[in-house]
Amino acid sequence: MQLASSTSASATATAPGSGRRLPMPDGQPLCLHDWPLPQARGGVLIVHGLGEHAGRHERLARWFNAHGYAARSYDQRGHGRTPGPRGALQHADDLLADLSVVHADYARTLGVAPLLLGHSMGGLVALRAVLDERIMPRALVLSSPALRSHASPGLRRLAATLARLAPNLRLRNGLELERLSHDPQVAATYRGDPLCHDRVSPRLADFIFRAGASCIADAARLEVPSLLLVAGDDALVDAGGSRDFSAAAARTRQLTTRYFAALYHELFNEAEPGRSQVLLQLEDWLERLAA
């Protein structure tokens, strides 16, 4: 990670699928993105990863629309069109508290608890919130969740120290964009997207490291039907964390795990035929869930 200055997203811009701002209890507004569907069979709430934003998941949201689900996502604090410094948190559990508010708001809109889908850091946030019983979604989908990092023990210790001394110092997140997908256009589009950023604060990094380890330790507490999608050739998170979580959660009989040995981190943005293989597994699991 390298030291960098902070930036802020525009507080006034809008995007397709985006609309209202949902205020959090501390006054921080979050930008919501909705893909509604009349007479939907249910809804899915999508939680994005580090450095990106909800709009990058529009194709996935449209896939859910085509399969009978309304979809919502939101720009987490420090990301996308949500205003504020990039990659920063006021408190270590901000992302968990935010998800609980967004989930409750969407459940009121739908009249029923939605499915919850978290990608990468968003998968970590979703899983930790479920294990803490902050939320109770209808079911949970985890895509390449950040349960373990490739960061060295020394870097993790440094993040913990800086989280106390300079918690919102902006550092480069070091993500290897070329390893997002085998489709080179994915990385090129990411780089050209003004709503993506490469910043992470020590407080956020320390949250990711600690929450990942605690999720694995608490795997036996999983009480929600869950699908874990693991990219075997993942350079952005350590897939070993997902394997260990899957093994520890097996006794709950709530978890279905699908491994894709040759695929990169962004399973839903992979080159074909990989993306279609992932979506077929998701579709099959959703059908069995509804049976």
246 a catalytic residue: no
Which of 98, 198, 206, 234 is catalytic? The answer is: 234
Type of residue found at 153: P
Are the beta carbons of 86 and 78 closer than 8 angstroms? yes
CA angle at 197 for the pair 226 and 96, rounded to the nearest 5°:
40
Q: Which of 85, 90, 87, 97 is nearest to 23 (CA)?
A: 97
Cα separation, 242 vs 148, in Å, equals: 8
Q: Other C-beta atoms within 10 Å of 290: how many?
A: 10
Cα separation, 206 vs 192, in Å, equals: 28
234 a catalytic residue: yes
Are the beta carbons of 44 and 67 closer than 8 angstroms? no
As to burial, measured by CB atoms within 10 angstroms (0-12 exposed, 13-18 middle, 19+ buried), residue 163 is: buried
The alpha-carbon radius of gyration of the chain (Å, integer) is 17
**Cα dist from 93 to 2, 63, 96, 128, whole Å:** 24, 31, 5, 10
Which of 33, 48, 197, 265 is catalytic? The answer is: 265
Cα separation, 54 vs 73, in Å, equals: 6
Which of 73, 120, 226, 246 is catalytic? The answer is: 120
Cα separation, 128 vs 143, in Å, equals: 14
Q: Which of 79, 119, 97 is nearest to 201 (CA)?
A: 79
Measured torsion, CA atoms of residues 9, 10, 13, 19, in degrees rounded to the nearest 10:
60
| Active site members | 120, 234, 265
